[in-house]
Amino acid sequence: MIKQYFKQAWTMMRQNKLFTSIYVAGTGLSIAFTMVLFIIYYVKFAPVYPEYNRDRMLVISKSAVAIGEAEKWNSCNSGANPKIAGLVKDLPHLDEVGMAMMNSWAGSTVLLPNSNEQLEVTPGMVDAGFWKVFTFQFLNGKPFDEATVEAERPVAILTENLAKRIFASTDVVGQYISYDGKDMQVIGVVADVTGTTPATAADLYIPLYYGGANRPSKYDMGLSGSVSIYMTAPTQEDVETLRSEVIDVLNRYDQEDKQFSHFWMNQPDVWWKSTFRDNCSSEPDIPGIIRGILYMLLALLFIPAMNLCGMISSRMDERMSELGVRKAYGATNAGLISQILTENLLLTLVGGAVGLALAYLIALTGGNWVYHLFDNFVMPGGVNPSYTVEMLFNPTLFLSVFGLCVILNLISALVPTILALRHTIIYSIQSKR
């Protein structure tokens, strides 16, 4: 029976090429843009390279500070002070803690060997814990340790792409690069990190305290600073316990420090919440963000589904006599509904294939503008957003999008079909063919 339904559906598609083309195109575009939307937010939240520990990670990335307890907030900083890592390192539910400052040194350059060409790069300043919190794939060499960071040694870890641009090879451990006019020894090469993961994206990584930068000093304003703090719990179940412990540490420090008062806005954040934190004066408007995503889904899925419903209703009017004849020869309403839903399922499958191909084409070629189209919380500058095979070809991702589209398309076909079958056999047969 199912085989017969699909055979009839295929015949209908061949005989009604205009309707088929419009239906497939509409479904394909809906799936394509919805797929791109889902890809973007999947990359923000799901475990992807090198941020596989997102589900058990806490983040402190913003802070505001006031002088004295009674003063208004008079300094809005981009991050936290490195001394926080020392305050939390012995917490019972802490697994690892790392620090980083990304995309902050605009205009940094590397001198290409045997030429006078300056290659602009985006550095990431990180500590030794950074390599334990995040899971980088080292193609050669190894990460720098805490002693290297403390000693401010001039060493660097390059991404695969940068290593090939400079040396035409990734086997470059022990080689030297000229970074901002200073020689730095390459001690490792890691697989490329895409700009779609701005917390870890850079062209090269150097010690956090290189050149004396970011090191805590007597001039610090308490726990406020310029680095992001990343902490992992042993398991996902320990995250909230660790969060409570960190909050307690921050509060105790503020009570002891009478010179400054800090506004942490309920940090540390779980990972997904940290991706939406774009300022240091207020918490992310999560309800507003959810509404925005729902509005986009409405535009991308529900409105096209309503249009398809209108098209199918017109199509049912044209097929009224056919339905009447089939009912006269003994066809049941359930059988007719199954046939029509099968037709629309086949159309949706074809549209899904088109939409999938189009989504990947948009994601791979659209570049920066596609990423910013749906996401306002991308750090400016730095490494351009791009998508890896791991990010794109995820079965759960595609099945979720495609399943939602199938449900909407079948509903858009079911409603006009039921309405059409409510008419009597005589009325249906006498309807305009």
Q: What is the pLDDT of residue 380?
A: 46
- Peptide linkage before 304 cis (omega within 30 of 0): no
Alpha carbon 350 to its chain centroid, in Å, reads 27
Burial class of residue 147 in the structure, from the number of CB atoms within 10 Å of its CB (0-12 exposed, 13-18 middle, 19+ buried): exposed
pLDDT tens per residue across all 433 residues of the chain: 556 655 655 666 666 667 777 777 777 787 787 778 777 788 888 888 899 999 999 999 888 777 765 555 556 667 888 999 999 999 999 999 999 988 666 678 888 877 778 888 889 999 999 999 999 999 999 999 999 988 889 999 999 999 999 998 999 999 999 998 889 999 999 999 888 888 898 999 999 988 777 877 766 777 888 899 999 999 999 999 999 999 999 988 887 776 777 788 888 999 988 888 877 777 777 788 788 778 877 777 777 777 777 667 666 666 666 666 666 767 676 767 777 777 777 777 787 788 878 877 777 776 566 666 656 555 445 566 667 666 766 777 777 777 777 777 777 777 777 766 666 555 555 565 4
DSSP three-state, residue 277: coil
Burial class of residue 6 in the structure, from the number of CB atoms within 10 Å of its CB (0-12 exposed, 13-18 middle, 19+ buried): middle
Torsion (CA) 357, 299, 386, 110 in degrees, nearest 10? 150
**Listed residue (38, 51, 153, 166) closest to 102, CA to CA:** 51
Which tokens sit at 317?
């009017």
Annotate 160-183 with DSSP letters as a single string: HHHHHHHHSSS--TT-EEEETTEE
At residue 115, what is the residue type? S
DSSP three-state, residue 245: helix
Burial class of residue 203 in the structure, from the number of CB atoms within 10 Å of its CB (0-12 exposed, 13-18 middle, 19+ buried): buried
* Per-residue DSSP letter, 117: P
Which tokens sit at 304?
């096209």
Which tokens sit at 399?
């099945």
Report CA Rg, the chain.
Answer: 29
Alpha carbon 318 to its chain centroid, in Å, reads 45
At residue 425, what is the residue type? I
Dihedral (CA of 284, 288, 290, 292) sign: negative
- Strands 204-207 and 123-126 come out as parallel
- pTM for the full model? 0.79
Q: What is the pLDDT of residue 3?
A: 62
Which tokens sit at 293?
């995503």
Which residues, listed in sequence order, are joined to residue 158 by a DSSP beta bridge? 189, 204
DSSP three-state, residue 381: coil
DSSP three-state, residue 351: helix
What is the distance between the alpha carbons of residues 224 and 222, in angstroms, rounded to a whole number? 6
* Residue 258: Cβ within 10 Å count: 9
DSSP three-state, residue 100: strand
Q: What is the pLDDT of residue 155?
A: 94
Q: Of all helices (H) and strands (E), which one includes residue 264?
A: none
- Peptide linkage before 416 cis (omega within 30 of 0): no
